[in-house]
Amino acid sequence: MTVPSRGEVKPGLAGRPGLRDLLTGLGQGAADDQPVITAGVAAAGLEAAVRQIAAHPGARLADVFVCAGSPQTNGGPVTLRLVWGLDADRTYLITESAVDGERYPSLSEIAPAAFAEECEIYEQFGIRPAGSRPLNRVALPPGAGPDWPRLGRAPAEPPRDVHAPHHVGGHAFEFPFGPVRQVAVESLYYGLVTSGEELVDLYLFTWHKHRGVEWRLRGATPREALFQVERTEGLGAVGNAWAFAGAVEAALGIEPPPRAMAMRAVALELERLYNHAAATAALCQSTGLMIGQAAAEIALELLLRVNAAAFGHRYLFGVVDIGGTRADLDAAALGSDLPAAYGELERAAAALLSTNSFLDRLEATGILTEEAARRLGLVGPVARATGLAIDARADHPVRPYGQSRPEVAVQDAGDVLARFRVMLAEAAESVRLIAEIGRTAAGPGLALPPGAGPGQLASSGLGWAESSRGESLAWVALDDSGRITRARLRPAAVRNWRGFDDACRSQNVFTDIPIIEASFWLTAAGTAR
């Protein structure tokens, strides 16, 4: 499969001998220099291929999903797809394997990051990895019977419910918290296992927010689907919509005008800014610093007003369209209001960084190591705070990030303070990028002209964007009439929740959990989708 180059000049494979060797090893003779490479791998050879790819420098397993032959498939062969981020090579590699039967080679034995997806595939398609490892319930609620809407057929046995015993080893007990929690936060159930103060273990239920978005998108036109994709995760509308639109555009072989791509980037950076301001306010709230919270929320409100003035929506819904953007930028509003709004955030951040009682709560709290971040396939500020310099804007640049390259903010302590510092550095970089991209955005047209028809049909494509939480991925397959047969959405929250329990277990006490949650700044909606 080939996808449009999206205006990027990418190094040829002559400059990437390691990638050439990898592809040759996978039996891919037709090497190219595209941003996405697809390789067919027989199910029998999948385990060896996964080991080979996992050993490739800079390779990380970014997503795993299954496509049924048709929406009506009940049993029968399915296609297992693994999406690898070959960040050092600036390429995504998709392996496709036909799976006939109820089992496929265990992926999580080699790439632990795949376990959550193995569980999800079992729930949705009824097939499981080899071995007898129990698979957990991740998306569908308890009692979801065979008739529950699924992408494939129901599993023979229901998945295991992750419940710690309420009395653990005679010394620890489970403290249930949620799914209804304080104020207006999302539904999320914490099973906190504690011996009184220190957290021994933690597990999460996110299925209260499951809406079956991927199931609902089948049969829709891409434009109809975009409405729901934007609402999959309200705080990530631009990032997820861009990834989805990019996937559809790759499948159709179309390329939005440069100005439209610039508008998307400005909206994406505005989304990053308001999310990082919101995370700052949440950090203040979780540490009991009410005035700091108010200061950050003033900045947040001003940034939301900038969004409304610039693009007509406070949360930037309706900006991205298939083939371009729906909303034009009011550059005058941006130029006059953004410096003032960001100035509020800067002042609040400077005061917070000189408040020892605040910093004491953040330092050495919720530590994640770089090894854990890599092993679990984490992305975004959470990964970058451990020293892992991955950023889809820099590693897999689409226009305009090829020209306006972001400075990737990295810290190495892996704690809450490191995540906070990464967010602040990214906010400053977003302001710089908005100014630079706004200056260079030229040319007419926010969308493809009417009649610029699809270059190809009945195809598939991968799209991506670096949302405020990290890399958001989408994969779309279309039928002959241009309707969706399978849409896979993988917001960054899907990845990063799996690092949350590791961070919470690292010698933290009860009151640290809200601080760690604020520093991750994830959504339950994004992972439950």
Cα 429 from Cα 433, distance rounded (Å): 6
Nearer to another protein, 55 or 291 (CB): 291
Minimal CA–CA distance to 472: which of 304, 242, 279? 242
H helices of 402-464, where?
416-440
Tokens 């908005």 belong to which residue? 434
Minimum separation from the CB atom of position 313 to another protein (A): 6
Find all residues with CB under 8 Å of 307, minimum gap 6, and list them: 270, 271, 274, 313, 314, 315, 316
Of the pair 326, 469, the CB lying nearest another protein is at: 326
- Cross-strand pairs, 133: none
Identify which of residues 228 and 496 has a Cβ nearer to another protein in the complex: 228
Q: What count of other Cβ atoms lies within 10 Å of the Cβ of residue 132?
A: 6
Q: Which is nearer to another protein, 307 or 508 (CB)?
A: 307
Please enumerate in sequence order all residues whose Cβ is within 8 A of that of 33, keeping only pairs 6 or more positions apart, or say none: 10, 11, 12, 13
Helix axes 513-520, 258-286, angle to 10 degrees: 170
Residues engaged in binding another protein (CB under 8 A)? 224, 227-228, 231, 289-292, 294-295, 298, 305, 308-309, 312-314, 317-318, 351, 355, 357
Smallest distance, another protein to C-beta of residue 292, A: 7
Yes or no: say if 371 and 378 are a contact pair by the CB < 8 Å rule. no
Query: At which residue do the structure tokens 């999580």 appear?
Result: 108
Specify the DSSP class assigned to residue 37. E
Note the helical H segments in 287-330: 290-311
133/223 with CB nearer another protein: 223
Least Å distance, CB 134 to another protein, is 39
- DSSP letter, residue 510: G
The distance of closest approach from Cβ of residue 57 to another protein in the complex, given in angstroms and rounded to an integer, is: 44
Tell me the one-letter amino acid at 399.
Answer: R
Q: How far is the CB of 235 from another protein (least distance, A)?
A: 16
Considering the complex, state which of residue 72 and residue 357 has its C-beta at the smaller distance from another protein: 357
In whole angstroms, the minimum distance from the beta carbon of 308 to another protein comes to 4
Nearer to another protein, 31 or 298 (CB): 298
Nearer to another protein, 331 or 458 (CB): 331
Count CB atoms within 10 A of the CB of residue 475. Answer: 27
Look at residues 259, 243, 261 and name the one whose alpha carbon lies nearest to residue 251: 243
Nearer to another protein, 160 or 216 (CB): 216
Which strands, in side-by-side order, build the sheet including 199-205?
167-168, 172-177, 189-194, 199-205
